[in-house]
């Protein structure tokens, strides 16, 4: 397995789907909300953080400001969002599995090369 990914989503079904999709290829850690993710990020580092945008307590925007230093991908059920926001890729729900795997492989690979 190559790379560590933190998945953050307050929807348990979305979190489980994404974890199942990626677990055979990456070390996966999950967080049920942004607050839990910040606690995890305080003691561990990841090659990639995939976070939902709309969550209670700490949303995806605040998590990006306060948390990860590496690559981030946003995840949203709002299909009106563009494929990228300020240079940050956006994964839209429902998930396109092949597109997610390709995007994650590319970003984790780039992050590992930069390290």
Host H or E run for residue 114: helix 97-114
Q: Looking at the 3D structure of the chain, how many domains does it have?
A: 1
The boundaries of the domain holding residue 108 are 4-114
Q: Is the pTM for the entire model greater than 0.85? A: yes
Tokens 């199942």, located at residue? 20
Host H or E run for residue 64: helix 60-66
In this predicted structure, what is the pLDDT of residue 1? 59
For the domain that residue 86 is a member of, what is the CATH number? 3.40.50.2300
In this predicted structure, what is the pLDDT of residue 115? 61
What are the average pLDDT values for consecutive 10-residue runs of the chain, which has 115 residues?
90 94 95 95 93 90 82 83 84 86 87 66
What residues does 89 pair with on adjacent strands? Answer: 84
What is the total residue count of the chain?
Answer: 115
């Amino acid at each position: 397995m190559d790379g560590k990914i933190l998945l953050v989503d307050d929807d348990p079904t979305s979190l489980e789907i994404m974890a199942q999709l990626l677990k055979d290829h990456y070390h996966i850690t999950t967080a049920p909300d942004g607050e839990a993710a910040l606690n995890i990020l305080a003691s561990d580092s990841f090659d990639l953080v995939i976070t939902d945008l709309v969550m209670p307590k700490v949303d995806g925007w605040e998590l990006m400001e306060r948390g990860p230093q590496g690559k981030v991908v946003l995840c949203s059920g709002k299909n009106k969002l563009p494929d990228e926001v300020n240079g940050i890729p956006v994964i839209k729900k429902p998930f396109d599995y092949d597109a997610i795997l390709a995007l994650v492989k590319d970003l984790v690979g780039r992050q590992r090369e930069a390290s």
